[in-house]
Structure 1
């Protein structure tokens, strides 16, 4: 059987190398966006109260992504740097250690959510019984079986670290197809299937995640790519403490950053709840619509992260600088396209998800305001990917936490002016613009001092 080598990120034309790695990841991210939007489109047919409840339950799913960011980022960066040094035994040990941490975190997070379900939902002060019940049911299923989502995220990072971005694309595509089929069947009850509404949405989501995991696991053993560090991982062996230590060193700042970012969003959601269920629904759905931008940028950032890490391990610093410049141009154009769509076509976009006048009006206003920051947000995420590939996750976390945290006092001030709810949206947009500028300047400074 003919074997195919993984993409060598340390040699060859930079644009072509980045494109080969990034395009499947970006396509996979777009599939993730379609996955989330599909859920929201079907759930939207159940009314804004159900959307609000699912949005609140989904906040804890988002919080969990911060926890798994530790083994994912720590595993990806260390595995990629080991691959760059051609030390594949070390790469396998990092991959195995990352997966062990992922499984442990998945079990712990699920247990905490199941034990403290009511207090966790109660934080958002949902006064509507229908919204509260939707949040409870959705969180019970999705967080209770969060282990599959955790494994998918870490495996995606490890596949990318060794230069294979096609396997995650294949897995996510099949997961999306499964979710698109199951959503209408289980949410609305088509043919012999019962109408499960919120339960159906949660079951469809988890089933799709199980399918993605099954495909990724299958690809580990059937892929002809060489070297395939994942095939040789010793998952049930104890590895040297240095592997766990280095994973925590790289991944911990990113994990803390992501979880604090989510907690800040939770506080903002609580502030938004004062404006009613329609406002919460808009924030939830608006975030999913916006994921067209940030999921794609985050996908490109994952590619740039692996590219930067491998070349840093190989001490090819000029390739890192050149790769960043190419990525900057691509993401800037993408961000401007999304800005134009949100600012000039907000009503047609919002109309896909909202069918009552109040929610539609709030959503249109949200998209216009958020739209101005899309290009800056794309640059921010891409730059974080590059800096993290250099191992500077702590620096990224400090900058991100400080500037994202500024959203709370800014939202408090602006929402108590005549802007009202729009003040909260402006707090999100303005801080994203500032973060994009600050991260760009940070990379430029780093490239002059660290990449010599």
Structure 2
């Protein structure tokens, strides 16, 4: 297997994290542009009610589809630790990838079918989506769930690339498919008048193309992923390791998604205007504020490789370096979100008015919590990469608690602004626990590859 440029166990730490992390950042931006393009085209070409319909589905689809992310995360940690351990573990890298494929594909099929069958119950019964936007919401959500398998395959290919230290190929693939997605959005909605269904079909088709291209390039570029006769079978030992990481990771995404559902449920009670404002502002937030998640995501694989190699001091150095990088970016994101909040929200609406004002208020509240969010992300990624799988679950529960506080305690006094405030409260609680867990050093005893 040898030591290549993708080896994160040696070299300049800050430079490596930037070189490896920046393509992940760009990839995150491009992935978020999928949702932004959906909302932007719907808001500009159809109207605020359609924007509210598409936005109301986000938390539900994330709840189900991100459960597959647990398996992807488990795969990434195992593969990166085996890869960091050296050439003698090359067979186990292959076994981990094959076993991951079986698990992730099965989850995608099951969750996709369940999502299609119960879309209406999820949106109306669980989320309380108003009747005037319900039909469009159900239609859009069903189409997104039909794309569960392509989404899972792309995420798996991206996860394998990152675990092996290559974050550039998926980024380049996304550049092309994101442009394609935006073009198809406009064509299907403005050209063919397909309404919200058009943006759903555009997203699924673009994801499918992205998955196929990424897998083909990965297959050609990384020969280590090619299965052999003795590695293609399902490996129960590796599966147990994946489950050990994957289930807690799934719980993390579940708590985050449940938190989003809780917030969306409260927001839905304030009507279509507030729903549309929240949807638009949330897309801006994902595009700007969540970008450091790409850099902190690099910490997961950096940590995985170095823990696999036993380089614990190098992990600590990486944590400090990433702290400085993240805080520098956060200052920029906060400024943009506050200063340019009105024109940013305005691009999503052809009607303007209260929707733009309310969306701007959300961006201000969100900007206040960005420092908490960045440090929370970084701590979770480091702990996951080390194999400390339960810590992020507790962080997620604390984030969810903050959202409940906003909706239950603050909303009766401050209305939708109280609901908005639940997010930075949750991030602050999660940050306190995540940093404390990292500082305790218990993660250094969680190595999975012996």
TM-score interval for Structure 1 and Structure 2 normalised by the shorter chain: over 0.9
Q: Provide structure 1 residue ranges, at least 5 long, that are not aligned to the other structure.
A: none
How far, CA to CA, are the matches of 1:176 and 1:24 in structure 2?
A: 15
Alpha-carbon displacement from aligned partner over 1:101-155 (angstroms, at most 9, x marks no partner): 11101110111122223212212223333x1111111111110221111111122
1:383 aligns with 2:379: yes
Q: Which residue of 2 aligns with 1:210?
A: 208
Of 390, 398, 413, the match for 2:394: 398
Q: Which residue of 2 aligns with 1:321?
A: 316
Q: Which residue of 1 aligns with 2:58?
A: 58
SS of alignment partner, residue 130 of structure 2 = coil
Of 436, 445, 450, the match for 1:441: 436
> Judging changes above 3 Å, is the alpha-carbon distance between structure 1 residues 233 and 364 closer, same or farther for their aligned structure 2 residues?
farther
Equivalent residues of 2:27, 2:170 under 8 A apart: yes
SS of alignment partner, residue 9 of structure 2 = coil
Q: Which residue of 2 aligns with 1:35?
A: 34
SS of alignment partner, residue 12 of structure 1 = coil
Alpha-carbon displacement from aligned partner over 1:194-225 (angstroms, at most 9, x marks no partner): 211111100110011011101111112321x5
Q: Which residue of 2 aligns with 1:177?
A: 179
Q: Which residue of 2 aligns with 1:298?
A: 293
**Structure 1 residues 115-264: aligned runs within 5 Å:** 115-122=117-124, 123-129=126-132, 131-189=133-191, 194-223=192-221, 225=222, 228-232=223-227, 237-264=232-259
> Judging changes above 3 Å, is the alpha-carbon distance between structure 1 residues 79 and 137 closer, same or farther for their aligned structure 2 residues?
same
Q: Give 1:69 deviation, angstroms.
A: 1.6
Alpha-carbon displacement from aligned partner over 1:245-293 (angstroms, at most 9, x marks no partner): 1101011111012112212221221111111111112222222111124
Equivalent residues of 2:399, 2:425 under 8 A apart: no
Q: Give the RMSD, CA atoms, in angstroms.
A: 2.2
Equivalent residues of 2:95, 2:227 under 8 A apart: no
Q: Give 1:294 deviation, angstroms.
A: 4.5
Q: Give 1:94 deviation, angstroms.
A: 0.9
Equivalent residues of 2:81, 2:305 under 8 A apart: yes
Bigger mean CA deviation after superposition, 233-242 or 268-277? 233-242
How far, CA to CA, are the matches of 1:387 and 1:296 in structure 2?
A: 19
Equivalent residues of 1:96, 1:233 under 8 A apart: no
How far, CA to CA, are the matches of 1:378 and 1:446 in structure 2?
A: 20
Q: Give 1:407 deviation, angstroms.
A: 1.9
1:367 aligns with 2:370: no
Q: Provide structure 2 residue ranges, at least 5 long, that are not aligned to the other structure.
A: none
Equivalent residues of 2:386, 2:446 under 8 A apart: no
Q: Which residue of 2 aligns with 1:424?
A: 419
Equivalent residues of 2:399, 2:423 under 8 A apart: no
How far, CA to CA, are the matches of 2:6 and 2:311 in structure 1?
A: 16
**Structure 1 residues 95-110: aligned runs within 5 Å:** 95-110=97-112
Bigger mean CA deviation after superposition, 360-369 or 36-45? 36-45
How far, CA to CA, are the matches of 2:422 and 2:64 in structure 1?
A: 24
Q: Give 1:448 deviation, angstroms.
A: 9.2
How far, CA to CA, are the matches of 1:272 and 1:290 in structure 2?
A: 16
> Judging changes above 3 Å, is the alpha-carbon distance between structure 1 residues 334 and 233 closer, same or farther for their aligned structure 2 residues?
farther
Q: Give 1:234 deviation, angstroms.
A: 7.2
> Judging changes above 3 Å, is the alpha-carbon distance between structure 1 residues 374 and 235 closer, same or farther for their aligned structure 2 residues?
farther
Give the TM-score normalised by structure 2. Answer: 0.93
SS of alignment partner, residue 226 of structure 2 = helix
> Judging changes above 3 Å, is the alpha-carbon distance between structure 1 residues 70 and 322 closer, same or farther for their aligned structure 2 residues?
same
